[in-house]
Structure 1
Amino acid sequence: MRYRRPGLDWLSHGLLGLCCLLFGLPVWLAVTASTHTLGDLYSQTAPLGFGDAGLDNYRELLGGAVGGLGTDVTTLLVNSTLMALGIAVGKIAISVLAAYAIVFFAFPLRRLCFWLIFITLMLPVEVRILPTFEVVADLGLLDSYAGLILPLIASATATFLMRQFYLTVPPELVEAARIDGAGPWRFLRDILLPLSKTNLAALFVIMFLYGWNQYLWPLLITNDADYLTIVVSLKRLLTSADGLVPWHYVTATAVLAMLPPIGVILLMQRYFVKGLVDSEK
């Protein structure tokens, strides 16, 4: 049911437009500033229009090392994408198997196992950063994709969400699969995973953004420029030997850093929304 109140509609649309302006203005300023030269940015206020540099700043960033990065932004984008994909896929795989075991297998202390997993929500990466770094260093995983991904692939949040979904599966469906001769792996592969595809899509978007926005862990374990991520490199661009911040490169890198997450959200938007709000998954 929709209420027809013209005054309220105008107010709602006005607030929506104001919010869009507040959120979109910084992005627009970054896009326009990335097309100006460094001299233009230091000689005037933040530009609202496009500059004469055009795509030159982007070509320089994607084609070679600039601003003291030690590598090109293409490598940074690849590193960030591999890290985010590895974290998202790893978290989903572990959470699916853990939730499946907790819900559908009867073994001693399974409730305790679930609560032990759930309690780890109280221990974010920052709290366990030193012991995790020591373990990764002892295993020789510094400056490697495995070191970037493996310590972050366990997720109590994803396990909890998948467990809650599996609890809604009717017992009759489990019994019917057992009568048809479906074993545990076949039941998981042919029944549970297709039923939970919207939930998995929503989790993938959330976990991909979580992996993409990681800053502290990549900063701590990477010294080789070939393994830097684009989020960490943005901070490095803000420092320069001559004291002038290369804002044309900073803004261009920020724009490039936004593109993969935006692409994932646009591609998975329908499944993401359905997985969060649709009761008939």
Structure 2
Amino acid sequence: MMKKRTKRMIRVIILEILLASISVVVFAPFFLAIVMSIQPSEFVFVFPPRFLPKGFHWQNYVQAFKVVPFGRMILNSAIVAVLITFGKLVTGTFSGYAYSNFKFRGDKISFYIVFATLFIPVEIVLIVPLFRIVSKFGWVNTYWAMTIPFMASATNTFLMQQHFKTIPKEFEDAAKIDGANSMQYFFKIMLPLSRPIIAGASIINFTYAWNMYLWPLIVAMEDKMKTVQVAVNMIMNAESSQNWGVIMAATVVALLPTLLIFFALQDLFVKSLVSSGLKG
């Protein structure tokens, strides 16, 4: 009995050491970016390298906002990311609910067609047709062009459809007995039960939308409509491109919103992973 406990304890210790080592490796680039962002340029490439900051040079952050209209670009990214995330959640939950709870002519064929779009790299294959369409609508340099083409995705439809199929049909039967129609059942029962999976999808969609680079670079030609990822590249190409403290300051600011969203929803995100793993 003692040998089994000892072996189990050794396995746990080894696993924790392994996870801690992986965490250090994953966090190291972000930590290095923070250290570089608060150092003067002459200390960034000193040898031996400094892994702990010597003082705080906050001017790098101030300079990052002066090189380009960084504040406006952060606002643009926030608006675009929120709208795309909201649109994907709405279209994904409704379409996933339709495919999981309703039978209609062509439902399987249409679902397979939607699923097949997962294999199409939208920002590469469809970039020219999309630009021609938004140009004809007069949407260049607008939020419409940066958000509407990405407000629906097969990923969300498939994810929500698979989740809704795990909810017992007895719940729907009980709701119908109580006089609830399909939409009442969806809003009062299905959505509250889907909070973890919706939180997980929100993190994934927001991160994707926040980190979009190619499409905003093409469709937003004016600086006032560009997004934060484009702003970081503009700072790298500006006169201060040799000042990596300023570049890292802009990078850290660009990373913060996605980290805050993850930490705010991490409990629900973990629950979504656990529940999806337990249910197959």
Please, what TM-score do these two structures have when normalized by structure 1? Answer: 0.88
SS for the counterpart of 2:189 is helix
Name the residue aligned to 1:249: 246
Name the residue aligned to 1:41: 44
Which of 111, 116, 119 matches 1:122? 119
Name the residue aligned to 1:236: 234
Contact 2:100/2:162 (CA < 8 Å) preserved in 1?
no
Please, what TM-score do these two structures have when normalized by structure 2? Answer: 0.89
Question: Is 1:168 matched up with 2:171?
Answer: no
- Equivalences for residues 150-189 of structure 1 within 5 A: 150-189=148-187
How many angstroms apart in 1 are the aligned matches of 2:168 and 2:24? 46
- Equivalences for residues 191-206 of structure 1 within 5 A: 191-206=189-204
Q: 1:10 to 1:274 in 2, by over 3 A?
A: closer
Which of 69, 80, 83 matches 2:80? 83
Letter in 1 for 2:162: Q
Q: 1:123 to 1:3 in 2, by over 3 A?
A: farther
Which of 104, 116, 120 matches 1:107? 104
Letter in 2 for 1:36: Q
Contact 1:91/1:207 (CA < 8 Å) preserved in 2?
yes
Contact 1:32/1:50 (CA < 8 Å) preserved in 2?
yes
| Shift, 1:272, TM fit | 0.4
Superposed CA deviations along residues 205-246 of structure 1, whole A, max 9, x for unmatched, are 11111111111111111111111111122222222358x523
| Shift, 1:53, TM fit | 5.1
Question: Is 1:260 matched up with 2:263?
Answer: no
Which of 95, 98, 106 matches 1:98? 95
How many pairs are equivalent? 272
SS for the counterpart of 2:237 is coil
Letter in 1 for 2:130: T
Q: 1:95 to 1:8 in 2, by over 3 A?
A: same
Q: 1:103 to 1:24 in 2, by over 3 A?
A: closer
How many angstroms apart in 1 are the aligned matches of 2:5 and 2:270? 24
| Shift, 1:48, TM fit | 2.1
Superposition RMSD in Å:
2.2
How many angstroms apart in 1 are the aligned matches of 2:78 and 2:5? 44
| Shift, 1:25, TM fit | 2.2
Contact 1:237/1:246 (CA < 8 Å) preserved in 2?
no
% identical equivalent positions: 30
How many angstroms apart in 2 are the aligned matches of 1:43 and 1:170? 62
How many angstroms apart in 2 are the aligned matches of 1:8 and 1:194? 38
| Shift, 1:60, TM fit | 3.4
Question: Is 1:272 matched up with 2:272?
Answer: no
The unaligned stretches of length 5 or more in structure 1 are none
SS for the counterpart of 2:212 is coil
SS for the counterpart of 2:125 is coil
How many angstroms apart in 2 are the aligned matches of 1:263 and 1:97? 27
The unaligned stretches of length 5 or more in structure 2 are none
Q: 1:201 to 1:221 in 2, by over 3 A?
A: same
Letter in 1 for 2:52: G
Name the residue aligned to 1:55: 58
Contact 1:121/1:156 (CA < 8 Å) preserved in 2?
yes
